[in-house]
Chains A and B, each alone.
Chain A
Amino acid sequence: MTIYGTGLLAACVLAGLFLGDLLGAAIGVKANVGGVGFAMILLIVSSEYLRRRDLLPPPTREGVQFWSAIYIPVVVAMASQQNVVAALKGGPAAVLAGVLAVVVCFALIPAIARIGAKDEQSPFRVQTVTE
Chain B
Amino acid sequence: MEKLLVDVLTKNGLLTGFAVVALTMWLSYWLSARLTRGRLHGSAIAIMIGLGLAYVSGLLTGGQKGVADVPMLAGVGLMGGAMIRDFAITATAFGVNFAEIRRSGLSGIVSLFAGVVLSFIVGAAVAAAFGYDDAVSMATIGAGAVTYIVGPVTGAAIGASSDVMALSIAAGLVKSILVMVGTPFFARMIHLDNPRTAMVFGGMMGTTSGVCGALAAIDPKLVPYGAMTSTFYTGLGCLLGPSVLFLATQAVVG
In the complex, the answer to whether B235 meets A97 with C-beta atoms within 8 Å is no
Complex CA gap A36/B167 in Å reads 28
Question: Which residues of the partner chain A approach B186 to less than 8 Å between Cβ atoms?
Answer: 106
Question: Which residues of the partner chain B approach A101 to less than 8 Å between Cβ atoms?
Answer: 118-119, 122-123, 145-146, 171, 175
Q: Could you tell me which residues of chain A, from 55 to 79, have a CB within 8 Å of some CB in chain B?
A: 61, 64-65, 67-68, 70-79
At the interface, yes or no: B184 with Cβ under 8 Å from chain A?
A: no
Render A111-126 as a binary contact track against B, CB cut-off 8 A, 1 for contact.
0111111001000000
Q: Could you tell me which residues of chain B, from 127 to 148, have a CB within 8 Å of some CB in chain A?
A: 127, 130, 132, 141-142, 144-146
At the interface, yes or no: A93 with Cβ under 8 Å from chain B?
A: yes
In the complex, the answer to whether B130 meets A102 with C-beta atoms within 8 Å is no
Taking A31-B153, A47-B94, A87-B174 as contacts, is the C-beta distance between A72 and B43 under 8 angstroms? yes
Taking A90-B171, A109-B190 as contacts, is the C-beta distance between A36 and B80 under 8 angstroms? no
Taking A86-B64, A105-B115 as contacts, is the C-beta distance between A116 and B106 under 8 angstroms? yes
Number of interface residues of A (CB under 8 A): 78
Taking A32-B235, A97-B145, A110-B190 as contacts, is the C-beta distance between A16 and B126 under 8 angstroms? no
Question: Which residues of the partner chain A approach B43 to less than 8 Å between Cβ atoms?
Answer: 72, 75-76
Complex CA gap A113/B195 in Å reads 10
In the complex, the answer to whether B91 meets A68 with C-beta atoms within 8 Å is yes
Name the residue on B nearest A82 (C-beta): B54
- Beyond contacts A74-B79, A97-B142, A102-B179: 8 other A-B pairs, Cβ-Cβ < 8 A, are A32-B235, A43-B94, A68-B88, A68-B95, A76-B24, A81-B80, A90-B173, A94-B144
Distance (whole angstroms) from the CB of B158 to the closest CB of chain A: 13
Main secondary structure of the interface of B (DSSP, over half): helix
Taking A31-B235, A34-B232 as contacts, is the C-beta distance between A80 and B80 under 8 angstroms? yes
At the interface, yes or no: B149 with Cβ under 8 Å from chain A?
A: yes
Interface residues of B (CB under 8 A from A): 17-18, 21-22, 24-25, 43, 46-47, 49-51, 53-55, 57-59, 64-68, 76-77, 79-81, 84-96, 98, 103-107, 110-111, 114-115, 118-119, 122-123, 126-127, 130, 132, 141-142, 144-146, 149, 153, 166-180, 182-183, 186, 190-192, 196-197, 200-201, 203-205, 208-209, 212-213, 216, 220, 223-224, 227-229, 231-232, 234-236, 238-239
In the complex, the answer to whether A99 meets B59 with C-beta atoms within 8 Å is no
Render A22-46 as a binary contact track against B, CB cut-off 8 A, 1 for contact.
0110010111111111011101110
In the complex, the answer to whether B110 meets A105 with C-beta atoms within 8 Å is no
Question: Which residues of the partner chain A approach B180 to less than 8 Å between Cβ atoms?
Answer: 79
At the interface, yes or no: A95 with Cβ under 8 Å from chain B?
A: yes
Question: Which residues of the partner chain B approach A129 to less than 8 Å between Cβ atoms?
Answer: none
In the complex, the answer to whether B126 meets A36 with C-beta atoms within 8 Å is no
In the complex, the answer to whether A86 meets B170 with C-beta atoms within 8 Å is yes
Complex CA gap A81/B130 in Å reads 29
> Contact partner of A105 among B77, B118, B170, B191, CB < 8 A?
B118
Complex CA gap A75/B238 in Å reads 24
Question: Which residues of the partner chain A approach B96 to less than 8 Å between Cβ atoms?
Answer: 40, 44
Distance (whole angstroms) from the CB of A24 to the closest CB of chain B: 6
Complex CA gap A3/B106 in Å reads 37
In the complex, the answer to whether A17 meets B86 with C-beta atoms within 8 Å is yes
Distance (whole angstroms) from the CB of B140 to the closest CB of chain A: 11
Question: Which residues of the partner chain B approach A104 to less than 8 Å between Cβ atoms?
Answer: 118-119, 122
Question: Which residues of the partner chain A approach B22 to less than 8 Å between Cβ atoms?
Answer: 73
In the complex, the answer to whether A71 meets B51 with C-beta atoms within 8 Å is no
In the complex, the answer to whether B90 meets A9 with C-beta atoms within 8 Å is yes
In the complex, the answer to whether A31 meets B21 with C-beta atoms within 8 Å is no
